[in-house]
Amino acid sequence: MAFWVALEATVSGVWSSSAWGDCDVDTAYVQVAKTLKTGLGLALCQYDDRPIYLGSINALGTQDVTAAFLKSARQLHYGSFFLHTGLRSSAPELVRRARALGLSISLDTNWDPEERWNDTLAEVLSLVDVFFPKEQEVQLIAGQDSLQAAASALHAHGVGLLAVKRGSLGTVVFTRDACFAQGVQPVPEGGDAGAAEGRPVFEE
């Protein structure tokens, strides 16, 4: 596994890079810059919210995603689509470059702070093998009132596998032919860990 990421030249930024290296994550593409502040996200599980401090999150540009970086991988995971403002206009071209090199593509958009839910996303979705949205996100992106309708719309648009995160309800995975739900077992601290057996919800 490898990350392309920009970090601030402080103890926290350098520590992050070192910790990834200790976990056998390729840090060759980690850039530490004195002019940046490391981004930060806080998951407020109790209130289903996540405040974000952008910092260096939007520092990534198309020129940074080199052919050498893409050729070093088998899969490209594109995270925080709406927060990477420096990439959004060229995102379709970036994903096409990756596909041309034989990479599979997965996408997790996260929330859109502007709540526009598009930009170049529609074009990118048509090129995605696996899409990992949250329940509310997928309905807003697809413009549908139900998960099944959203899944049908996204499959018609070209998305391969759709894995929807539902918090304490677990996850539901839609293929073009079936749907499988995976529950989670609550833990005393209030989070969700473990899983029940997957089960088919419907088949077309």
pLDDT per residue, tens digit, the chain (204 aa), is 444 444 444 444 444 556 666 777 777 777 676 776 666 666 555 555 566 666 677 777 888 888 988 998 899 999 989 988 889 999 999 999 999 999 999 999 988 988 999 889 999 999 999 999 999 999 999 999 999 999 999 999 999 999 999 988 899 999 999 999 999 887 766 554 433 333 333 333
37 with 69, same domain? no
* 162 vs 138: CA distance, rounded Å: 9
Q: How many domains does the chain have?
A: 2
Does residue 158 sit in the same domain as residue 77?
A: yes
* Together in a domain, 104 and 148: yes
Q: Using alpha carbons, select from 110, 107, 100 the residue that is nearest to residue 123.
A: 107
C-alpha 93 chain-centroid distance: 18
Look up residue 46 and give its DSSP letter. Answer: G
Cβ contact 153:171 at 8 Å: no
d(CA 181, CA 197): 8
Are 113 and 188 found together in one domain?
yes
- CA 114, CA 82: separation in Å to the nearest integer? 9
